[in-house]
Amino acid sequence: MKAYPYQISSLSEYQDAYQQSMENPAQFWAHIAEHFHWHKKWTPGAELNWNFSEPKVEWFKGAQLNITENLLDRHLADKAHHPALLWEPNAPDEAGRLLTYKKLYEKVCQFAHVLKNNGVQKGDRVCIYMGMIPELAIAVLACARIGAIHSVVFGGFSAQSIADRLYDAQATFIITCDGAYRGAKDIPLKSVIDDALIGNHVVEKVIVCTRTRTPVSMLKGRDLWWEDEMQRVEEMGLTDFPAEPMDAEDPLFILYTSGSTGKPKGVVHTVAGYLLYTHYTFVNVFQYQPGWVHFCTADIGWITGHSYIVYGPLSAGATSLLFEGVPTFPDAGRFWDIVDKYKVNILYTAPTAIRSLMGFGLGPVQGKNLSSLKVLGTVGEPINEEAWHWYDQHIGKGKCPIVDTWWQTETGGCLISNLAGITPAKPGWATLPMPGVKLLLVDENGKEVVAQGEETVSGNLCIAAPWPAILRTTYGDHQRCRTNYFAAYPDLYFTGDGALRDKDGNYRITGRVDDVLNVSGHRIGTAEVENAINMHAGVVESAVVGYPHEVKGQGIYAYVIYQGSHAQDTHGSGDLVRKDILQTVTRIIGAIAKPDKIQFVSGLPKTRSGKIMRRILRKIAEGETDQLGDTSTLLDPGVVDEIKRGRV
């Protein structure tokens, strides 16, 4: 049943839509754009302007809209009392919350007044560092309402990581919480912000929302309580705030993602294209139907939370469920309790979570009513077939299509996925590209890989034309955008992933081909981790690679040359030094980047020019020590045998 005029309802409709999007992408997306609220329509012919060599991409340039009017205002006529956000807190015995579209609209408008009252203007950068509470979504939307550029930072990052992002974005305003709950842990968010602000002379105000009642330091003139500021606005009776008209190509947000160099990249997404694409992919991939409850288990600090907790679902008038906790607290049945409690219809989670929950057996699933589920989804990394079948059999009961979505921070929304119950699924394969996504595989020289007959071929995954939600730049450094994504192969966007394509045109992602790891669905640059390890006193040099991890997908394996005061310990267990190094990485980046394994070595395999042969280190980490290839060209071939013997 079509809930939207452009919702695809059969394989032939998908094929028609895909063909139209390839033949005339401007016309295809303009037709969808007509269904949104615009302050000023685009001039015919201005739907799309692009050149990948610069790179430059513009969709609907000159048209004006505000994304929040399309997420909130336009639903007030018929969905004012419909649930927009459901919130499930970390502790199951704490009361949850329900915000209708009318209530969410009022809260967003009120907080927009708070921002304006404190000097935030259109174009200002606002850093948001909060736990998964409704106020996080409210803060994001209030920024968009007034035209400020939000930059959400995941609540697990360290003070140094936040300081780097604040400096890069030149953010003048921060929104945070006193603390956050995550499973059995209390995360002291405000104190982390205080550490990040040491030496910062750009940030003017910090708004602090109460969550954990952790004692915090509040500096006069800089730090303000969320509740006090909102009360002032409420006492003035302000429940409306006129949405700021934004150019279609104005920035909506910056989201930092790890790169192959140590410095994170600030990916920039713009208003109109991002709205169109997150909306279109949400209603089509998940085959969303009015009244369904959508549960995306991601954190809003990552792109998945931006696109499929906030912007995509609300643009469709859906009910989106936010979860503050973790899947194993207080026990491994938490997800299934939530599905049962809220009668969830769409469950969108990560293969890492599925594999973790598989490890607890079927006990946590028993006695839970999962009959409300209609669609299952996975995101963050390719799902292995064993986990796919477990998910299908024990959670979907063989009745729910599973959408295996592939996409990136830089793409804004799903690029490859089956459409739930509409296009065929293939376990372990992301399958077919979304309309508007022109994929091709190339070899290392940039030559297109073409199949001979019905063979399955492999290559580096590239995209030959822009879709509406493609990144526009990396904040403050457009050359870095060109170098990272458009320089490897002329006139192509290079995803950084390798892929297989079968005879039916289905794609299977085989993993990163650059020095970026995919740990639990989150991209972490090897150079970023190496930089952090090397900052530990006593570390001479390090090299970081990925290795297969049964839960995380990829684990982090670090080879470390250590000559510090405790160097003698590394000849034994080395546990003390390992813990010190892990603490250093946690302090500089965050716990998410901690190596799973640390091996102390006397040297690293290097060429005579000094290049570390990570290919060899990867093979050793993976246990493939008999497939190292020729090592005779190394500066010191003997170091390889030593590393093999010391593998942890």
| Residue, of 206 and 590, whose pLDDT is higher | 206
Q: Is residue 281 part of a domain?
A: no
**Helix (H), strand (E), coil (C) string for 81-149:** CCEEEEEECCCCCCCCEEEEHHHHHHHHHHHHHHHHHCCCCCCCEEEEECCCCHHHHHHHHHHHHHCCE
Higher pLDDT, residue 595 or 633? 595
Give dist(CA 410, CA 25) in Å, integer: 20
Q: Residue 568: is its pLDDT beyond 80? A: no
Residue 525 pairs in a beta bridge with: 516
Contact (CB, 8 A) for 509 and 497:
yes
Average pLDDT for 241-266: 87
Residues with Cβ within 8 Å of 505's Cβ and at least 6 positions away in sequence, in order, are 432
Is a pLDDT exceeding 90 seen at residue 235? yes
Q: If you average pLDDT over residues 201-206, what whole number do you get?
A: 97
617 located within any domain: yes
183-203: average pLDDT: 96
Percent residues over pLDDT 90 in the chain: 79
pLDDT of residue 550: 87
For residue 635, is pLDDT > 80?
no
Look at residue 262 in the predicted model and tell me its pLDDT. 59
**pLDDT greater than 60 at residue 34:** yes
Across the range 318-328, mean pLDDT stands at: 96
pLDDT exceeds cutoff 70 at 533:
yes
Q: At 549, which CATH number?
A: 3.30.300.30
Among the ranges given (72-81, 361-370, 448-457), the one the predictor scored with the smallest mean pLDDT: 448-457
Q: What is the mean pLDDT of residues 376-403?
A: 94
In a domain, 348, yes or no: no
Q: Tell me whether residue 105 is in a domain.
A: no
Q: What was the pLDDT predicted at 630?
A: 63
Cut 0.85: pTM above it: yes
What residues pair up with 206 in beta bridges, in sequence order?
174, 223
Distance CA 512, CA 221 (A): 46
pLDDT at 370 over 90: yes
Mean pLDDT score across all residues of the chain:
93
Q: What's the mean pLDDT in 476-498?
A: 95
CA distance 109 to 233: 10
Total domains in the chain come to 1
pLDDT at position 615 is 82
What is the rounded CA–CA span in Å between residue 311 and residue 315? Answer: 6
Rounded distance between C-alpha atoms, residue 536 and residue 538, angstroms: 6
pLDDT of 374 reads: 98
pLDDT at 612 over 60: yes
pLDDT tier for residue 7 given thresholds of 50, 70 and 90: very high
SS3 615: helix
Q: Is residue 543 part of a domain?
A: yes
pLDDT at 257: 87
The answer as to whether 611 is a domain residue is yes
- For 407-428, what is each residue's pLDDT tens digit? 999 999 999 999 999 999 999 9
Sheet holding 457-463, edge to edge: 439-442, 457-463, 493-501, 507-512
What is the per-residue pLDDT across 444-460, written as a single tens digit (0 to 9) for each? 899 999 988 888 999 99
Q: End-to-end CA distance of the chain, in Å?
A: 54
Residue 609 predicted with pLDDT over 60: no
- Is 375 among the domain residues? no
Q: Is the pLDDT of residue 260 over 60?
A: no
Q: What are phi and psi of 439, to 5 degrees?
A: -90, 150
Whether 509 maps to a domain, the answer reads no
| Phi, psi of 80, rounded to the nearest 5 degrees | -55, -40
DSSP 429: B
- Predicted confidence at residue 540, as pLDDT, reads 84
Percent of the chain with pLDDT over 70: 96
Range(s) of the domain holding residue 573 = 516-645
Is the model's pLDDT at 521 over the cut of 60? Answer: yes
pLDDT band at 624 (very low <50, low <70, confident <90, very high): confident
Ranges 131-145, 414-428, 505-519, 600-614: which has the least confidence:
600-614
